[in-house]
């Protein structure tokens, strides 16, 4: 059960990161330059804050334990 929870948290973080990268890339290709749009910046900040709130509520034990215990 502990491993399942840890896996879930890890996969959740990875999926959020992938969504952020995809959105950023779309904005980059749409505007044709290196500067991200304001909406992309705000979206990334929002998703990051949501992620931190989720970890604070559900992942305290996950964050407290050493990384080496994830696969035990």
* Contact in structure between 24 and 44 (CB atoms under 8 Å): yes
pLDDT in tens for each of the 72 residues of the chain?
Answer: 555 666 555 655 555 556 566 665 555 555 444 445 566 667 777 777 777 776 666 665 555 555 444 444
Whole-number Å distance between alpha carbons of 12 and 54: 10
Which pTM does this prediction carry? Answer: 0.29
User: Distances from the Cα of 66 to the Cαs of 3, 22, 42, 43, in angstroms?
Assistant: 13, 31, 32, 31
Q: What is the DSSP letter of 70?
A: T
């Amino acid at each position: 059960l502990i491993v399942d929870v840890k896996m879930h948290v890890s996969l959740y973080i990875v999926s959020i990161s992938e969504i952020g990268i995809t959105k950023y890339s779309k904005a980059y290709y749409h505007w044709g330059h290196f500067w991200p749009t304001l909406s992309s910046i705000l979206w990334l900040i929002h998703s990051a804050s949501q992620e931190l709130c989720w970890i604070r509520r559900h992942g305290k034990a996950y964050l407290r334990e050493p990384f080496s215990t994830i696969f035990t």
